[in-house]
Every structure is written in C-alpha cells, then in structure tokens.
Amino acid sequence: MGAGVQVLAVPGLGEIAAGDDLIALIANASSAAALAVDGGDVFVVTQKIVSKAEGALIELAGVVPSEEARRWADHWQKDARLIELVLRQSVRIVRMERGVIISETRHGLICANAGVDTSNVDGRFAALLPADPDASARSLCRGLVARFSVPLGVVVSDTFGRPWREGQVNVAIGAAGLMPMTDYRGQTDSFGRELTASAIAVADELAAAAELVMGKTSRIPVALVKGTGLGTGRERDGSARALIRRAEEDMFR
Amino acid sequence: MGAGVQVLAVPGLGEIAAGDDLIALIANASSAAALAVDGGDVFVVTQKIVSKAEGALIELAGVVPSEEARRWADHWQKDARLIELVLRQSVRIVRMERGVIISETRHGLICANAGVDTSNVDGRFAALLPADPDASARSLCRGLVARFSVPLGVVVSDTFGRPWREGQVNVAIGAAGLMPMTDYRGQTDSFGRELTASAIAVADELAAAAELVMGKTSRIPVALVKGTGLGTGRERDGSARALIRRAEEDMFR
C-alpha cells in the first residue's frame, strides 16, 4: 500500500442498455475524462450497469405471482410481481418478516430482496443481480487490461444492508484481477507478536471507498481506485465468492 | 461529493501512551508530512490509539477470571483473563460458540470479543474500546478544528467482522463533525422515481476507505480523507450511535 489512495469518478457513461459494450464505454469514458489508468489500479463497477448490459432485466408485466408472493405482497403492500421475483432468485429465506425479505441468492450472497431492485431502472422492469458477478468481473478485467495494457483489478459492487448496523454500504459481489482479502495472519504487530485473526476484506473496502464518489442519484456507476496497488491483471486472481462465509462456519444462518 | 476522494496516510505518529495529546500529535504529524488539511476533510483515527491515549488498557496480571471465564477458556484454549475482560465488557452475549464470543458492548456495538484486543499492545496488557467513542471523536474534532481553523469531521474506527461475509472491514464506532448517514430517501433516481430505502452509512465507508492506507502492521493509525466535503466541524453533528440498529428493528439479535 502506498501513502495515498485516490478514488476517481468515471463520468459520462450515460444510460446503459442490454448488449452495450461496458469495456469500451468504461475505457472511453476514462479516456474522455483524462483519467490516468496505471498498473495496480482497480475499477469498481456497480452491479446495476452490469445487469443492464447483460440484459438481466425482467419485465414486470410478464411475471405471474405465486399464491405465497401474493399473500405476502398483500399483507405488506408490496408489488406481488416483485415479491415473486425475489422468491425465484432465492435459494433460502434467512428472514421474512416485517415486510422485509433477507435471503440467500444462488450466488451465496445474503441480502435484502435477493438483489432484485427497481431503482435507476425503467419502471416497467426490475433488475436482477448478474448471473455470475465473478464472471462479469473477469470479462471486464480482461477487456480493460487489454485496452490499457497495464495490470488492473475489477470489483463489481452492490449496496447491502448489514445486521446490527443502520444504513447500507457498498460491497464486492464480483471480483477479478485482485486478491479480495489481505491476510495478515502470521505477520507480526508493532510489538513483534504474531497477528492471529486478521484478514481484511479489501475488495469490500474498495467498493465502500468507491461509493463515496458514486452516490445513489449522481449517475456515476464506475469509479477508478488508484494507489492501492491491489490490481494484478490476472483475471483468475480473486473471486468475490471468497468473501462469502461457508455455511458451516456461519453463526448467523 | 466531488469528482475525486483522496485517502492519505498520516505517518510518523509513533507509539501512543496514556495521557498523550492525540490532537497535537495528529496535527503535528499532518503538518510534518505537508498534508493540506481543508474544510470538509475527515480524519479517521483507529480506536487502538484512542484507547491507548485514554489509558483504556488493562494489565492482565491483575484480572481474576470468573468460573465461567475459566471454563470457557480451558475448553477453547484461550487466556481466561482475556475472556473475563470480554465478559465484563459485554452487556449481552449474541453468540458464544466454537471459541468465538460475539457480544453487545455497553456502547451498543455488536462485535467479536466486545472489542477487547491484544494486537499492537504490549503483551502484558489488553486494550478495551474507548469508554465513549463519540465523545472521543467530539474531543478530537474540537481540537483539530481549532488547530487547522477549517470545518473537519472525525471518525473513530475499528475493524469488525460481519455475519455471512469473510474478512473484517473498518467501521465507524465514533463520529463527530459529520453526518454518519447520507439519506437518499425522497430523492429521485435517474428515471425520476423516488428512492425509498436508501440510506448510506458514509461514516463506515470513510472508515473502510481509510483502512486501505492503514494496514494492520504498517503503523499508520490515522488517515485524512479529502474530497468528500462531509466534514462540517460542528462537533455535535453525527454520532456513530446513529449507525447502530435499534433492538426492536434488528432481525438478528
């Protein structure tokens, strides 16, 4: 890690549609903004534009809610078609109470509404999470490394709530070209004693840092994080799956 | 939010002892490193040096473990005196299994070992969390605002684990001089639709961003985050308590 980290907004991407070439759009927007893209840098890309480019939008008019979805939606005054999508995207319900659904997606992510989201989407549609956010990150990493000819990392981010704490933070749901955790175990502290339980989820911290320049309404879906040196350009380095706790080690199933 | 955020390490603080004047040390270290401190900037200060300066270290030799602490420590091969401190610092045990204690501190924080920590501390001692991290942040904020004559924010940070996800991230356990949450509810998205459930825990994101320049072993306990404009200098603005979910709204008690 260097002495300083810079988080830069990548402006001017515009509205993303299915089939858009995100690699070209991100590279061109970075160049147009005269951003210096250097080896070790990391692009953080919000899930929403990845989902849009990959066509992971569902037209609500075509969704037929199940009996369960209708009952829940009626009770909590929700759109039954959205609830139906949430249930379909869930492999396990963690909590379903007070109008809130926390569930596990088939990616293993545990989040509200299985990542189904209608914000910043044409009102007739709902956005799903990308089918394989790590694969999305790998594809972006490969393309951006080729375009800039330097080793880079890519994080695909989404904003998640947390147990016990208010507010949402941006986390990494996909990663490539960087090690998502920095493991300090075996290293020594300033008193020469071995650190025993310190692995930092740097991919989540990169996502969180990126959110500071993105905002929810400001149309900045991509940030460039410079100065960490975390980007390796090796697309097989890292996977956001490594950030998901295995069921048998999770005390909060 | 501007187009860019900078996270700068504040180097050269050295080892902190009880009674040290953190305000003077941070201000002098910032000046010595020729860091420009501007209105709106936020200092992120790790809990460990706040605890050390406030003398929140306990000499383990003087701790007499209870029967419960001894039994648990024996079973999991832990130091019974540390377990005793963890239990004393806890107002409620959330999980106590597999050698791990997740508990609620009297501050309302839910974390491993009630924040009791022996890393980066002289081996004869354990560090507790500051008695009132918001008060610590207010004091630092007042002093640093006076010293630099610009409105600043202060976050006191600690690294916490999370349910469901591997690795730790830096979060805000104390805050002053900034609003810890940015609430987008009522604002409209890029399609003109009202955002209904978006409050971002920016104080946690600032803490996470700061960790990227701190590292666990690199002796950088303070970072300066520039470019967010979040620092207001009003020491009563914000409290990390606002980031703690109220018991009646918490589905993961």
Q: How near does any CA of chain A get to the CA of B49, in Å?
A: 13
- Considering the domain B6-54+130-249 in this protein, what is its CATH number? 3.30.1330.100
Encode B217-237: b = buried (16+ Cβ within 10 Å), e = exposed: eebbbbbbbbbbbbbbbebeb
- Smallest CA–CA distance from B111 into chain A, residue: A164
* Residue from the list A159, A167, A243 with its beta carbon closest to the beta carbon of B166: A243
State the pLDDT at residue A218: 56
Query: pLDDT tens digits for B144-173?
Result: 999 999 999 999 999 999 999 999 999 999
Domain A57-127 falls in which CATH fold? CofE-like fold (3.90.1660)
In angstroms, the first-to-last Cα distance of chain A is 35
Smallest CA-to-CA distance from A200 within A178, A176, A180, A182 is with A182
The ipTM (two decimal places) reads 0.94
State the pLDDT at residue B225: 98
Contact B5 A7 (CB under 8 A): yes
Binning pLDDT at 50, 70 and 90, where does residue B2 land? very low
State the pLDDT at residue A71: 95
* Residue from the list A165, A209, A243 with its beta carbon closest to the beta carbon of B208: A209
Q: How near does any CA of chain B get to the CA of A142, in Å?
A: 24
Chain A contact set for B8 (CB, 8 A): 3-4
Report strand pairing: A153-160 vs A42-46.
parallel
Given a cut of 60, whether residue A49 has pLDDT beyond it is yes
The crossing angle, in degrees rounded to 10, of helices A133-148 and A22-32 is 50
Q: Give the least confident one: A53-57, A90-94, A153-157, A248-252.
A: A248-252
Q: How near does any CA of chain B get to the CA of A66, in Å?
A: 25
Contact A195 B217 (CB under 8 A): yes
Task: Measure Cα distances from A31 to A27, A28, A124, B221 in Å.
Answer: 6, 5, 34, 35
Give the whole-angstrom CA distance, residue B44 versus residue B197.
Answer: 27
Q: How many CB atoms lie within 10 A of CB B64?
A: 9
Contact B251 A171 (CB under 8 A): no
- Smallest CA–CA distance from A95 into chain B, residue: B251
Which of A1, A5, A160, A228 to mutate to probe the B interface, most B CBs <10 Å?
A5
> Which distant-in-sequence residues (6+ apart) come within 8 Å of A14 by Cβ?
A25
Given a cut of 60, whether residue A183 has pLDDT beyond it is yes
* Residue from the list A120, A198, A201 with its beta carbon closest to the beta carbon of B189: A120
State the pLDDT at residue B1: 38
Contact B208 A208 (CB under 8 A): yes
Contact B218 A1 (CB under 8 A): yes
Q: How near does any CA of chain B get to the CA of A120, in Å?
A: 5
Contact B216 A187 (CB under 8 A): yes
Query: pLDDT tens digits for A74-109?
Result: 999 999 999 999 999 999 999 998 888 999 999 999
Is residue A159 within a helix (H) or strand (E), and if so which, with residue range?
strand A153-160
Q: How near does any CA of chain A get to the CA of B96, in Å?
A: 9
Binning pLDDT at 50, 70 and 90, where does residue B73 land? very high
Query: pLDDT tens digits for A232-248?
Result: 999 888 899 999 998 88
Query: pLDDT tens digits for A119-131?
Result: 888 889 999 999 9
State the pLDDT at residue A216: 64
Residue with more model confidence, B187 or A162: A162
Please name the amino acid found at residue B161.
G
State the pLDDT at residue A238: 81
Residue with more model confidence, A134 or A195: A134
Chain B contact set for A153 (CB, 8 A): none
Total beta-carbon pairs less than 8 A apart between chain A and chain B: 234
Contact A199 B245 (CB under 8 A): no
Q: How near does any CA of chain A get to the CA of B108, in Å?
A: 9
Sorted by where each begins, the domain ranges of chain B are 6-54+130-249, 57-127
N residues, chain A: 253
Chain B contact set for A213 (CB, 8 A): 1-5
Q: How near does any CA of chain A get to the CA of B184, in Å?
A: 7
* DSSP structure class, residue B4: E
Given a cut of 90, whether residue B68 has pLDDT beyond it is yes
Report strand pairing: B42-46 vs B153-160.
parallel
**pTM to 2 decimal places:** 0.95
- Smallest CA–CA distance from A6 into chain B, residue: B6
Query: pLDDT tens digits for B172-202?
Result: 999 999 999 998 877 887 777 777 667 999 9
Contact status, residue B164 vs residue A110, Cβ threshold 8 Å: yes
Chain A contact set for B162 (CB, 8 A): 162-163
State the pLDDT at residue A193: 76
Contact status, residue B37 vs residue B148, Cβ threshold 8 Å: yes
Contact A217 B118 (CB under 8 A): no
Domain A6-56+130-249 falls in which CATH fold? 60s Ribosomal Protein L30; Chain: A; (3.30.1330)
